[in-house]
Amino acid sequence: MAHPQKAFSGLENRTLAKIPSFSVKKVLDGSYQDQMEKGLKDQSVLKPPAVRLAVFFDLATGHYDKNGTYFSPDGVYVKKETDDDYTDQRLSLNARIITRFADQTGQHADLCLIPPKGAAEPDELPSYAPYLDDLKLREKIFKDINGNEKVGLIPMENLLSSDRERYFRTDHHYNTYGAYLSVKDYLTRTGFSTASIDRYVLSTVGEDFHGTLFRKAPLFEDSYDHVTIPSNLPDVKVKYSYGGDGRLDQESETDSLYEAGYMFTEDKYSVYMGGNHGLAVIENQKKKEGPVLFMVKDSFANSAVPYLIRSYKRIVMVDLRYFSGSVQDLVKKYDPDRTVIWYESLDFAQESRFPMLLR
């Protein structure tokens, strides 16, 4: 109680409860005791070393699973994702919604589903660890969309076959090279050429990134990731629309696909496009004419867009978590040439907001 209180924990990436000021009223209604208990837990100077000690004992006793995260002695983390994390009913429903969306809008809708880290890099999993059968999940989706010429499931051949590190060590997202490979898979399948990764001139903008998985089992302090970005990109104008409850009542504009200020925060992955927004419209300033891409996406799309924008005049990105308007009205407004659903595959299987696509 004597040491200065902290408002935020970088280790846990969350706001901390504070020790409350004394009040007779709060004591009588019980809120003081409740706040005091939470404050003492969060403000304890022993909590960070205790968390690390618990992870150490798990490691020493051969337990590599904590807080929904697998970890290994060499400091590699994998988000625990299993077949029990989704239902066949939801998966089938989502696939059918996408086919209906394509039929209603007349758009060709591609499913670019990013394999989770453990499926793409199974050697990083602990021995005998249960994990999502990503191939089986894709086969179920293919069965539901089979025969609809307006919907296509993009194979992730380059992303899956590469022997180069393509996911962050301490986070569930792919790194910038993994993002490049996913874009290469998508563009190749949809008839576009792809430039060599060397043409993009990757630049390191951070060398001390601890991802969200590290915070689940924060033992390996020296297991950092490097954050790199492609620097050789066309000039762009980006307009973000966002607001509370999905109401896009606020707007901002920028001429960059990156928000460098996030490199000085715990949330370094948000350097890509400043995180997630309800609506983002990216204009390629070097293309007066060209195709328009409409993306329904999760956070995996944010680091992929820099590699996509060379091929398009405009990319319209919608994140259903922060958008409550009519998706079909947006399709009519921007008149895209193609639509892509860009999700991590388990996120797609769990997504409950896809009915919004039919509004």
pLDDT tens digits for 268-280?
999 999 999 999 9
- The C-alpha atoms of residue 243 and residue 248 are separated, in whole angstroms, by 5
Contacts of 72-76 with CB under 8 Å at 24 or more apart are 72/124, 72/126, 74/223, 75/169, 75/170, 75/220, 75/222, 75/223, 76/124, 76/169, 76/223
Tokens of residue 330, six digits: 């947006």
pLDDT at 91 exceeding the cut of 90: yes
> What is the DSSP track for 108-136?
-EEEEEEPPHHHH-GGGSPTT-----HHH
Short-list 121, 140, 139, CA closest to 131: 121
- The C-alpha atoms of residue 47 and residue 40 are separated, in whole angstroms, by 10
Collect all residues with Cβ–Cβ distance below 8 Å to 200 and sequence separation of at least 6: 180, 230, 231, 232, 233, 306, 307
pTM of the model: 0.86
pLDDT tens digits for 150-196?
999 999 999 999 999 999 999 999 999 999 999 999 999 999 999 99
How many CB atoms are closer than 10 A to CB 356?
20
- The C-alpha atoms of residue 185 and residue 248 are separated, in whole angstroms, by 32
- Stated as kind and residue range, the H or E segment containing 247 is none
- The C-alpha atoms of residue 217 and residue 65 are separated, in whole angstroms, by 9
- Provide the pLDDT for residue 36: 79
Across the strands, what pairs with 218? none
Domain ranges of the chain: 8-45, 70-358
- At residue 5 the predicted structure's pLDDT band, cuts being 50, 70 and 90, is confident
pLDDT tens digits for 28-82?
888 888 887 887 777 776 666 666 667 667 776 777 888 899 998 888 999 999 9
